[in-house]
Amino acid sequence: MSDITGQADPPLTEKSLRACFGQFATGVTVVTAPGPRDVPLGITVNSFSSVSLDPPLVLFCLGRDAGGFDAWCAADCFAINFLGEAQRDLSVRFSSSLENPWEGVRWSAGRTGAPLLDERIAGLECEPHAQFDGGDHVILVLRVMHLYLGNGAPPLVYWGSDYRSLLTGRHQ
């Protein structure tokens, strides 16, 4: 069988699947939650999606190999921090294995207690709603409790295994 370009379909492998998924552009978020020993949890996530308006639900997927996995699954509140083009450094910081990714990051506790990054273009505060098995990930469905509207800044976009500018399409 061949695809629309006439190229033969590659074998279904983790590498080919990742390449295919990479053709779907996503926004970039940093999901945060209170953590153990008063050190917040934070992780870069592009597997975020709105689910429902009534009730207001969103989801994100968390890899089972994520640092602090058990603490994430037990968290009682979360913040979804939408990043803009100017926050690429925050995305990189929270996707790396830095010992303390919070060092030098400005944030404040929201109304639920979830850490809200000062540098975000919009955000949500959420409470847990449900968790589902997602293979090598867990799917966390969250109920939106509070929202913070953005200022119209362009979002940080991830496509083709790289950050892109929504306005120019160029690599960042």
Per-chain mean pLDDT for the chain: 91
Q: Which CATH number fits domain 29-160: 3.40.50.300, 3.90.1300.10, 3.40.50.12280, 2.30.110.10?
A: 2.30.110.10
Per-residue model confidence (pLDDT) at position 40: 96
Q: Is the pLDDT of residue 3 over 60?
A: no
Q: List, for residues 30-87, the tens digit of each pLDDT value.
A: 999 999 888 899 999 999 999 999 999 999 999 999 999 999 999 999 999 999 999 9
Q: Is the pLDDT of residue 1 over 50?
A: no
Q: Which residue has the higher pLDDT, 68 or 19?
A: 68
Q: Which residue has the higher pLDDT, 142 or 99?
A: 142
Per-residue model confidence (pLDDT) at position 5: 59
Neighbours of 85 (CB within 10 A): 19
Is the CB of residue 156 less than 8 Å from the CB of residue 85? yes
Report how far residue 150's alpha carbon sits from residue 121's, in angstroms, rounded to the nearest whole number. Answer: 5
Could you tell me the residue ranges of all domains in the chain? 29-160
Q: Is the pLDDT of residue 6 over 80?
A: no
Q: Which residue has the higher pLDDT, 159 or 60?
A: 60
Band the pLDDT of 154: cuts 50, 70, 90. very high
Give per-residue burial for 29-43: e unless 16+ CB within 10 Å, then b: bbbbbbbeeeebbbb
Report how far residue 42's alpha carbon sits from residue 117's, in angstroms, rounded to the nearest whole number. Answer: 10
Q: Region 135-158: what's the mean pLDDT?
A: 94
Report how far residue 122's alpha carbon sits from residue 127's, in angstroms, rounded to the nearest whole number. Answer: 17
Is the CB of residue 101 less than 8 Å from the CB of residue 42? yes
